[in-house]
Amino acid sequence: MRHPLHSLRGAGPGVWRVMKDKEQMNDFHGLKLADPILKAIAESGYETPTPIQARTIPALMSGRDVLGVAQTGTGKTAAFALPLLHRLAQSGERAQAGRPRALILAPTRELAGQINDSLRTYGKHLRLRSTVIFGGASANPQIRALRQGVHVLVATPGRLMDLMNQGHVKLDAVEVFILDEADRMLDMGFIPDIRRICAKLPEARQTVLFSATMPRAVRSLADGLLDEPVHVEVASESTPAQRVAQSVRFVDKGRKVAALTGILADEEVERVIVFTRTKHCANKVVRKLAAAGVSAGAIHGNKSQNARMRALKGFRDGRIRALVATDIAARGIDVPEVTHVINFELPDEPESYVHRIGRTARAGRAGMAISLCDLDDRMALRDIERTMRASVPVDDDHDHHDEDIAQARGERRKQGGRGQGRGRGHGKAGGNFRRRARRPARKGARSGA
């Protein structure tokens, strides 16, 4: 059943939105998913779809393209995984060697692995096969899995391009193409690879773009890839999770490590993710925490896949109390028990701040986000507050408060006035995509519901 649609102003040609407060499903049975999928959902302990799932799944079940944006932790993976599994199960076609019927692209190894785990969890009662391929690990096991045949291929762009060039993967049988975390794909410079990959896909396909944030560049990318998509936006990318208690501490750069260890001296800070802007800083923070007796590990692009997986597993198991991460590497972190997020350095992009603090307060829990702001961070803080249209509460009740930085921040905001913030042009990312030709009108047979 199609949702009522209305035009989305300002989103570009061909973009549509599901009407927000009507026809929302109260349970998964109302979504008309296959019984084996419903059984797996129940076994996982889920009863009610999240808003992004309730609004996305019917559109995908009817064969529509979808452009989705929702805060992290809202269930985006299940929103596209469940209807995909339903579609593949309904057709009953056998897997072919090196010719997947569905392709899911993710920016990081961790996120790709997490998506594949979700597919296996929800599809465990189905005769469907999926596999994941990514760089930083031996390609031989991945090639063997492809030769055995898979219905769904989850991949990072670089490794997929390598195996395509070697003849191990062909995309001519892909019926569903899903691009997850599209904003991070842009940040990581994957546009050329995505362009080459899309050129190998059939024109007649269902395409899905999901993203934690939706800057203009992602909208431009979507306009070139999607065919009259349903647009689903559960929450603005500039709005932080409601259950996150935020605060900012003004601290001199030279005292940030001491401020961080002071926070971690509190036993209530049980499991924390510390964010840095650079890989070098992440390594330095881990060394300083280890010297202070805090169990810590780092994940970033310079770490090997095995080292990243060990750190993430140790964090999940509770052997590592503090996980230090850069923004890109953190995209695959899904640990519901994170109690605190600490911004050791504020991000350059306000949207990344929202994504960072969304690592806590997951699965209905509350969480805290503490930002350490030095003189170099004050402009970033101002941009974050402007984007959120709210001030981050100041915490000056600690031993490392720097009143000069607090006052400098206030003066800078007063002097800046409107229009004095740093420009954040997105260039022409996505402009190299040719707009897809319109497909013929859909027939009822395409609907999976």
> DSSP H helical segments within 292-339, as ranges?
305-317
Q: What does the block give as tokens for 446?
A: 């395409």
Residue 321, φ and ψ in degrees, nearest 5: -85, -35
**For 4-42, what is each residue's pLDDT tens digit?**
333 232 333 333 444 343 445 578 988 999 999 999 999
Angle at 92 between CA 107 and CA 444, to 5 degrees: 85
**For 410-440, what is each residue's pLDDT tens digit?**
444 333 333 333 333 333 333 444 445 444 4
CATH topology (fold) of 5-236: Rossmann fold (3.40.50)
pLDDT over 80 (residue 89): yes
In which element (H, E) is residue 208 found?
strand 206-211
Q: CB of 36 within 8 A of CB of 125?
A: yes
Least confident piece of the model among 188-202, 346-360, 377-391, 415-429: 415-429
Residues of the chain with CATH 3.40.50.300: 5-236, 244-416
Band the pLDDT of 304: cuts 50, 70, 90: confident
Spatial separation of the C-alpha atoms in residues 314 and 360, rounded to whole Å: 17
**For 233-288, what is each residue's pLDDT tens digit?**
876 545 566 678 999 999 999 999 999 999 999 989 999 999 999 999 999 999 99
* pTM: predicted TM-score of the whole model, two decimal places: 0.67
Mean pLDDT (the chain, rounded): 82
Q: At 67, is the secondary structure helix, strand, or coil?
A: strand
**Burial of residue 143 (number of CB atoms within 10 Å: 0-12, 13-18, 19+):** middle
Contacts of 322 (CB under 8 A, 6+ apart): 264, 272, 273, 274, 289, 294, 295, 296, 297
Q: CB of 144 within 8 A of CB of 169?
A: no
Tell me the C-alpha to C-alpha distance, in Å, between residue 418 and each of 30, 80, 215, 388.
48, 40, 21, 15
Q: Give the CATH H-level superfamily of domain 244-416.
A: P-loop containing nucleotide triphosphate hydrolases (3.40.50.300)
Band the pLDDT of 163: cuts 50, 70, 90: very high
Mean pLDDT for 373-388 is 92
